[in-house]
């Protein structure tokens, strides 16, 4: 890991340790936006046959219908979820930035490009889709669709299996991730509290060492 990456990691740790309330607000906003996005997606799936004329079976879909459905979902996700989320995130960020001192603003300067890093394969971004795909295969087999041709699949069934895989993924990995996050926050906060404690040289145990030797007076 390079020095720039280490410095960026330290900045994130400092931010979460010093402004953990804003970090929690951001996490809560992301979770709320994600849940809202799922409901908006299910809503557009439900109204797609009436609005776009999508057929019930996957085998009858065309490339044109796929693109129209994708654009329709994207539009409503942006209107219902994207705009409120971006507005709220901007308000929270503006409030946080306004409260910073000039020294802290220079520390968290977003224009400093040396802290930017391009994502790489080592970031592990493909693990989540892989695990969710395994869950999806298990759900498909459990519901008896393992040998069913895709032409006989209803689109709503396909979507419901995807949502179930997502729910099981969150049930299994969500609580451990939350516990790990809380443990990390408590550890960082305890480190900060210990860092502002009494220095070792000023502690009561060292008072004897700080007493200067008194020379005997000559008669």
Note the pLDDT of residue 6: 54
pLDDT at position 19 is 73
CA-wise closest residue to 143 among 124, 128, 158: 158
Closest CA to 13 of 23, 3, 4, 28: 23
Return all residues near 161 (Cβ < 8 A) that are at least 6 apart: 136, 139, 140, 143, 145
Buried b (16+ CB within 10 A) or exposed e, 45-68: beebeeeeebeeeeeeeeeebeeb
Say what the pLDDT of residue 200 is. Answer: 44
Q: What is the pLDDT of residue 113?
A: 47
Domain coordinates in residue numbering, the chain: 1-117, 126-197
Instruction: Output the pLDDT for position 207.
Output: 46
3-class SS string, the chain: CCHHHHHHHHHHHHHHHHCHHHHHHHHHHHHHHHHHHHHHHHHHHHHHHHHCCCCCEHHHCCHHHHHHHHHHHHHHHHHHHHHHHHHHHHHHHHHHHHHCCHHHHHHCCCCCHHHCCCCCHHHCCCHHHHHHHHHHHHHHHHCCCCCCCHHHCEHHHHHHHHHHHHHHHHHHHHHHHHHHHHHHHHHHHHHHHHHCCCCHHHCHHHHHHHCCCCCCCCC
| Beta bridge pairs of residue 57 | 154
Q: What per-residue confidence (pLDDT) applies to 104?
A: 73
List the structure tokens of 144: 């008896």
Greatest Cα pair distance, the chain, in angstroms, is 114
- pLDDT < 50: residue spans in the chain: 1, 113-116, 119, 121-122, 198-213, 219
- Separation of alpha carbons 216 and 219, rounded Å: 9
pLDDT for 117 equals 52
């Amino acid at each position: 890991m390079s020095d720039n990456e280490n410095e960026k990691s330290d900045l994130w740790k400092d931010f979460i340790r010093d402004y953990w309330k804003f970090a929690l607000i951001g996490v809560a906003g992301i979770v709320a936006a994600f849940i809202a996005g799922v409901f908006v997606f299910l809503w557009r799936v439900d109204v797609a046959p009436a609005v776009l004329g999508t057929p019930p079976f996957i085998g009858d879909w065309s490339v044109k219908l796929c693109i129209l459905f994708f654009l329709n979902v994207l539009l409503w996700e942006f209107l219902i979820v994207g705009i409120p989320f971006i507005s709220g995130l901007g308000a929270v960020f503006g409030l946080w930035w306004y409260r910073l001192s000039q020294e802290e603003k220079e520390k968290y300067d977003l224009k400093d490009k040396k802290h930017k890093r391009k994502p790489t394969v080592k970031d592990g971004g493909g693990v989540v889709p892989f695990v969710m795909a395994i869950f999806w295969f298990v759900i498909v087999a459990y519901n008896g669709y393992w040998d069913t041709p895709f032409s006989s699949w209803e689109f709503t069934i396909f979507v419901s299996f995807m949502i179930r895989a997502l729910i099981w993924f969150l049930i299994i990995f969500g609580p451990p991730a939350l516990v790990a996050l809380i443990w990390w926050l408590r550890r960082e906060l305890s480190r900060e509290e210990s860092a502002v404690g009494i220095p070792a040289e000023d502690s009561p145990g060292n008072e004897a060492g700080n007493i200067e030797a008194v020379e005997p007076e000559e008669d």
